[in-house]
């Protein structure tokens, strides 16, 4: 059985019902909107985020979920989908998960409006049901995601990212939404504040490990077989590169910054940067850091009694860093 199917096993029924509720939460009186949202729903990814909501809710709520859990999962997925639609416009990307993106099929103006629609649907789903505690969790996440993106853009211009700033960027950009999923799951079943915070921290740790793993893919892996160098081409300062910069001579540092800033479209130069980062311990350092976050996340689960939900969450933590793509 595939790892994702194994993770999903204890919440299979909930996920099936969630998909129906999620589709229903997108409906509109405008046929163009329905056509586009239908396209979105039929091209969904692994749905890791709703899975986190249900697994955490069941683990902290003695195996039970309720309508608030379904709404929480729907809100997360609506907001997440809205950010992906907007991201594709910002990045001028014409593909998403191997299919054409909304902006490629319906142009930027419609894509931005669809993103806005999904965002408002998510907010109203909480407001209409008086789920103000759930709304606060997701609103904080949206604010932080925007701040993280803008901080990265600001820093990319000068390439002066320290390790501390790097971790702040990925905490906001990537980890904050997974943290919101986990906090949402616990809050939906009325877990006490300290437990909600503990689960939020758990999600933040996994999200950070997830992003470091993504950084490592830029330097090649067993699945791709060769480095992509896309982050370097886009002048993104990732952990392996930051480590190599911090542990190089002033001459090497000059050469590295010049390569990333002015020669990032030169294939040969990008490959030289990749080799330099590998030879100077950048990858080993990033792997070490990723495993630290993984272990911290697993430690937070230790206080919970054995259950299929806890087991799935442990599988999820390990899958995040063992995945091949």
Q: Is the dihedral of CA 170, 172, 175, 177 positive or negative?
A: negative
pLDDT of residue 225: 47
Q: For residue 119, is it within any domain?
A: yes
Split into its structural domains, the chain has a count of 1
**Could you give the maximum distance between any two Cα atoms of the chain, in Å?**
62
Q: Which domain holds residue 231?
A: 13-307
Q: For residue 275, is it within any domain?
A: yes
Q: For residue 288, is it within any domain?
A: yes
Is residue 73 a contact partner of residue 48, using CB atoms and an 8 Å limit? no
Q: What is the DSSP string of 176-205?
A: HHHHHHHHHHHHHTT--HHHHHHHHHHHHH
Q: For residue 6, is it within any domain?
A: no
Q: Chunked in runs of 10, what are the mean pLDDT values of the chain (325 residues)?
A: 87 91 82 81 78 95 90 90 78 69 77 85 91 92 91 77 90 93 95 95 95 86 59 81 89 88 83 90 93 95 94 92 78
CA gyration radius, the chain: 20
Give the span between the Cα atoms of 52 and 8, in whole angstroms: 10
Q: For residue 148, is it within any domain?
A: yes
pLDDT of residue 86: 75
Give the span between the Cα atoms of 239 and 113, in whole angstroms: 35
Q: For residue 211, is it within any domain?
A: yes
Q: For residue 2, is it within any domain?
A: no
pLDDT of residue 198: 96
CATH assignment at residue 170:
1.10.600.10
Partner residues linked to 96 by β-bridges:
99
Is residue 175 a contact partner of residue 203, using CB atoms and an 8 Å limit? yes
pTM: 0.89
Q: For residue 130, is it within any domain?
A: yes
Element (H or E) spanning 316, and its range? helix 308-322
């Amino acid at each position: 059985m595939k790892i994702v199917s194994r993770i999903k096993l204890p919440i299979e029924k909930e996920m099936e019902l969630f998909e129906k509720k999620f589709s229903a939460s997108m409906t509109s009186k405008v046929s163009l909107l329905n056509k586009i949202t239908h396209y979105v729903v039929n091209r969904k990814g692994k749905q890791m985020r709703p899975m986190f909501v249900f697994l955490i809710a069941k683990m902290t709520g003695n195996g039970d979920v309720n309508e608030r859990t379904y709404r929480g999962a729907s809100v997360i997925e609506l907001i997440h989908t809205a950010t992906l639609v907007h991201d594709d416009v910002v990045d001028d990307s014409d593909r998403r998960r191997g299919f054409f993106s909304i902006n490629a099929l319906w142009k930027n103006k419609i894509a931005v409006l669809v993103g806005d629609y999904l965002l408002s649907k998510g907010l109203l789903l909480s407001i209409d049901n008086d789920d103000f505690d759930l709304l606060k969790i997701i609103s904080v996440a949206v604010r932080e995601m925007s701040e993280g993106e803008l901080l990265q853009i600001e820093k990319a211009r000068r390439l002066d990212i320290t390790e501390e700033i790097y971790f702040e960027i990925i905490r906001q950009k990537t980890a904050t939404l997974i943290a919101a999923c986990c906090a949402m799951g616990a809050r939906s079943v009325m877990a006490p504040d300290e437990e909600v915070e503990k689960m939020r921290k758990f999600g933040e740790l996994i999200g950070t490990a997830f992003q470091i793993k993504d950084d490592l893919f830029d330097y090649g892996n067993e699945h791709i077989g060769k480095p992509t160098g896309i982050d370097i081409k886009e002048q993104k300062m990732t952990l392996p590169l930051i480590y190599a910069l911090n542990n190089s001579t002033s001459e090497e540092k000059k050469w590295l910054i010049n390569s990333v800033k002015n020669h990032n479209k030169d294939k040969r130069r990008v490959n030289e940067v990749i080799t330099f980062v590998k030879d100077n311990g950048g990858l080993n350092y990033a792997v070490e850091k990723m495993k630290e976050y993984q272990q911290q996340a697993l430690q937070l689960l230790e206080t919970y009694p054995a259950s299929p939900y806890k087991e799935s969450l442990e599988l999820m933590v390990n899958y995040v860093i063992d995945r091949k793509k």
